[in-house]
Amino acid sequence: MGFIFSKSMNESMKNQKEFMLMNARLQRQGFTMLARLVSNSWPQMIYWPQPPKLLELQLERQLIMQSEMRERQMAMQIAWSREFLKYFGTFFGLAAISLTAGAIKKKKPAFLVPIVPLSFILTYQYDLGYGTLLERMKGEAEDILETEKSKLQLPRGMITFESIEKARKEQSRFFIDK
């Protein structure tokens, strides 16, 4: 479950990193063009590389794409939980019958003890797949976002373009040096 989620998150982060690098290159080229136009002695019209409306449209599409990816990942997680519940439910049923038969046959009620933790796992999986667990988790997450903002801050603050560029330059220098 976690592996599938982390793999898709890694792919999403990789795609976002590529997008940010491409966007930075476009901005640099735009400012270079602006400097060339300003330094020229002839009066000229300055054309930005992309109009603000186009940037707004790109951002809107990117947000929609990220939202759709999140929804698909959540749907896969719920489907996985439901599938796991089928197999675990079968295992639980067989184990409960076997343990009950063993307890009756041997007259030792201690055989029934493993049913207790297994029933908690079964209940959790049912609640995750078909119950209200996700709604409760969402409500708790919204409460954390509203009341416990300080726990959500990143260790070195928010990631900025400058910090990404610095890391990129250090990484490229690392590969060049070797």
What pLDDT does residue 47 have?
A: 58
What pLDDT does residue 50 have?
A: 61
User: Does 43 or 140 have the greater pLDDT score?
Assistant: 140
pLDDT of residue 176 exceeding 80, the answer is no
pLDDT confidence tier of residue 158, bands split at 50, 70 and 90: confident
Assess contact for 37 and 44: CB atoms under 8 A. yes
**CA-CA distance, 28 to 70, in Å (whole number)?**
31
Which of 115, 89, 90 shows the shortest CA–CA distance to 102?
115
pLDDT confidence tier of residue 45, bands split at 50, 70 and 90: low
pLDDT confidence tier of residue 115, bands split at 50, 70 and 90: very high
pLDDT confidence tier of residue 157, bands split at 50, 70 and 90: confident
Average pLDDT over residues 143-147: 91
User: Does 13 or 58 have the greater pLDDT score?
Assistant: 58
What are the DSSP calls for 2-71, one per residue?
HHHHHHHHHHHHHHHHHHHHHHHHHHHHHHHHHHHHHHSSS------SS-HHHHHHHHHHHHHHHHHHHH
Average pLDDT over residues 51-60: 79
- Rounded to the nearest integer, the mean pLDDT of the chain is 81
Assess contact for 126 and 93: CB atoms under 8 A. no
Structure token digits, residue 171: 């990484």
- 167's enclosing H/E stretch is helix 161-177
CA distances from 84 to 56, 77, 91, 128 (A): 42, 10, 11, 11
